Every structure is written in C-alpha cells, then in structure tokens.
Amino acid sequence: MQKKVLITGAAKRIGAACARRLHSEGCHIIVHYRASEREALELRDELNLLRPDSASALQADLLDTEHLEGVADAAQKIAGGVDVLINNASAFYPTPFGQASEAQWDELLGSNLKAPFFLAQALRESLKARRGCIVNIVDIYAERGLPGFPVYSIAKAGLVAMTRVLAKEMGPEVRVNGVAPGAIIWPEHDLSEQGKAEILQRVALKRSGEPEDIAKAVAFLIRDADYMTGQILTIDGGRTLFY
C-alpha cells in the first residue's frame, strides 16, 4: 500500500501500533498528537529511519473544532493528500451517573464523536478524489455500555452510528468502517489484578489481545475490504459472547 494515512492519537498504544503496521506495508504516516510530543516525535523518527521521508508529525487539539479544517489542510500539505483517516484519538475515564459534569460530557463527546465527524467532513474532498477510506476505532461497550462510564459509552455508540451514516453519505467513493476492540490494553486508570482476571474469565480465548491485533484489522479494512462499508469489526477474543 502506498497510501497517505492520518492517524489521530497515534503517539502511543493502539494508534502507534497502527502507524507501525501500516508503515511496514508502505504507507506514509501522519502521526497526530495532542500532548504526547516526545512519543510522537520518537515514533516519527523511528519510521523515517526505516524509510526516509515516510512519516510526519502533526500537533493539534481536536477539541478545538474551529481548527479542524486547518488540521485537514496541514495533513494534506504534509503528505500531498490524504487517502485514509483513522479516527483513533479518544478520551476515556469514568463518569458515574449522577456525578457526570457538562465539561466531562463535552470532552468525551468531543474527542470520541464530534472531532471524528468534523475531521471527516474537512477531509471529504481529498478522500473522495483519492477514493479513500475512513476507519473509526470504536469500542465493544458502544453496544451495551460500560458500567460507570456512561458518557464514554454514549460517545462510542455515536461513533458506531456515525460510521454507518457516513458510509451512506460518502459512498460510493469513500468506504467507512470501524474496529471495536475488546480487552486489548488495560486502561491507564487503576484496575486490580482481580478485576483483570474477572474480565478475562468472560473472554472465550481467556487472554487479552495486543494492539497489533487491532492494527491488523485496520490494515485489512484499508487494503483488502474493497466491497465493505458501514461495518464494525469486533476484535475481542470472544468477549461479547459472554455479555
């Protein structure tokens, strides 16, 4: 694949795994980051050492919706166009019902739903002209909700709906699909070993996945899924079998 790929939140975790996988398949990677400058620049330099002039870094706060057109323009100038948008950037933290604030609502909906929508809209002409695609990183909890995380779950459910709506709005030129991770990387907030074990008991494969598992699914949607749009690939080791 010789595609120009913008990955939001690409400095760490699943975003970085997607960057490495797609770079290994010949893509030019635009590593978007908000605050993780050191990790983003290290990843950019790592990729450029492997193949010169094959990766760039782009800093932006995606919650600043007024600047998303500028983000789209900058990405296109950096790479000479954008073939693929991967909406990966995501805020994630608990918001117990009865305690959730409007500021939390705005941040979680903003990062997980509003920014992906307006960034896709800003890139629509480039994606259509290049017959590109969008991959949204959603979540298995979009379907039934994660207890204690109602606002996050609502935001991801909206991103699933957006995936299906934009598949209609942007077709036939642009395909829009999503990937729903299960237990891939343990959350950065505290989770006890007992809590992890309880989760894995409800996973058919009895183990957590790896960021590379998500990256491979993303690569498939970009490279091989020419007749697939509006769909969500669930990569959860069978977790959703035990709801």
Structure tokens at 92: 């994630």
Q: Which of 202, 215, 208 is nearest to 185 (CA)?
A: 208
User: Are 163 and 178 spatial neighbours (Cβ–Cβ below 8 Å)?
Assistant: yes
Query: How many CA within 13 A on the CB side of residue 67?
Result: 10
* pLDDT above 70: percentage of residues in the chain: 95
Residue 88 has pLDDT above 90, yes or no: yes
Question: What's the mean pLDDT when you consider all of the chain?
Answer: 94
Q: Which domain holds residue 25?
A: 4-242
CA dist 194 and 110 (Å) reads: 32
pLDDT score at 195:
65
pLDDT for 159-189, tens place per residue? 999 999 999 999 999 999 999 998 776 665 6
Buried b or exposed e, range 17-31, using 16+ CB within 10 angstroms:
bbbbbbbeeebbbbb
Q: What is the CATH number of the domain that holds 156?
A: 3.40.50.720
Domain total of the chain = 1
pLDDT score at 189:
60
Catalytic residue chosen out of the listed positions 93, 152, 227, 243: 152
Active site (annotated) includes residue 227: no
